[in-house]
């Protein structure tokens, strides 16, 4: 298994490659930190250990931050979706493996929105790590309208303490027939559990990676 910085099309990427990959997971970052954040690195490593080829990339605003061009806010959804389309096109030139779109928080939301728009694509499905169902303390500002119409499978891996969507809230949402939510006990938005749970963030990340591998195995046939 390797962790390599390289170029896919117009994108600087970080690639984590297992010996015998089952699928390619294209992994987008969240709103605040880029593709090399601790969470992204640990998740990519865990996914690769579970047999998935992972490529991490960055949206335009984060690439500008990396170049030292100030701290621009996250791009609007149309730009995020355009970036996803370009990244998927680059991925198709690099692999014949089944492709999954995935992301942390905002990146996962954008991945699911892309799936909703491109239901006829060859992409097999999507995975969201900590889905932002609503902003914290704003449970009425839902970001779920597109989920009920998804035609491709989507797995959401959510901590039970996530302020962006807790079990008692999410169970009342219409997520459609193709969205499945798996709960990570005691985890917050970054999968950090309470100390009294006896678990660690790395354990929850490994649990999420194992669930991702199972999801890929059952949906890429």
What is the model's pLDDT at position 2?
A: 55
Residue ranges of the chain with per-residue pLDDT less than 50 = none
> Among residues 136, 33, 154, 74, which one has the least CA distance to residue 43?
33
pTM (two decimals): 0.96
What is the model's pLDDT at position 36?
A: 96
3-state secondary structure of 89: helix
Residue 51 near residue 21, CB atoms below 8 Å: yes
What is the model's pLDDT at position 83?
A: 98
Fold of domain 2-219: Rossmann fold (3.40.50)
β-bridge partners, 126: 101, 154
Which tokens in the block code for residue 129? Answer: 């790590």
Q: What count of Cα atoms within 13 Å lies in the side-chain half-sphere of residue 112? A: 30
What is the model's pLDDT at position 1?
A: 54
Which tokens in the block code for residue 94? Answer: 């690099």
Residue 63 near residue 44, CB atoms below 8 Å: no
Angle between helices 106-117 and 77-94 (to 10 degrees): 80
What is the model's pLDDT at position 10?
A: 85
Beta pairing, strands 99-104 & 125-129: parallel
Residue 27 near residue 91, CB atoms below 8 Å: no
DSSP for 111-146?
A: HHHHHHH-TTSS--EEEEES--SS-TT-TTS---TT
Domain ranges of the chain: 2-219
């Amino acid at each position: 298994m390797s962790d390599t910085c390289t170029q896919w099309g117009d994108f600087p990427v970080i690639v984590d490659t297992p010996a015998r990959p089952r699928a390619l997971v294209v992994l987008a970052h969240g709103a605040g930190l880029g593709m090399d954040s601790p969470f992204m690195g640990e998740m990519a490593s865990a996914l690769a250990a579970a047999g998935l080829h992972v490529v991490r990339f960055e949206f335009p605003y984060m690439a500008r931050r990396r170049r030292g061009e100030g701290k621009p806010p996250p791009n609007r959804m149309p730009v995020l979706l355009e970036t996803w389309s370009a990244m998927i096109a680059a991925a198709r030139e690099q692999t014949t493996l089944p492709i999954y779109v995935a992301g942390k928080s905002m990146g996962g939301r954008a991945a699911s929105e892309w799936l909703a728009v491109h239901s006829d694509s060859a992409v097999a499905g999507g995975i969201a790590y900590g889905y932002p169902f609503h902003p914290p303390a704003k449970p009425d500002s839902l970001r779920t309208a597109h989920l009920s119409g998804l035609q491709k499978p989507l797995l959401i891996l959510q901590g039970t303490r996530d302020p962006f969507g807790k079990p008692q809230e999410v169970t009342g949402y219409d997520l459609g027939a193709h969205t499945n939510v798996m709960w990570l006990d005691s985890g917050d938005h970054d999968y950090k559990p309470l100390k009294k749970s006896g678990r660690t963030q790395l354990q929850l990340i490994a649990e999420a990676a194992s669930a991702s591998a199972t999801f890929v195995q059952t949906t890429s046939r």
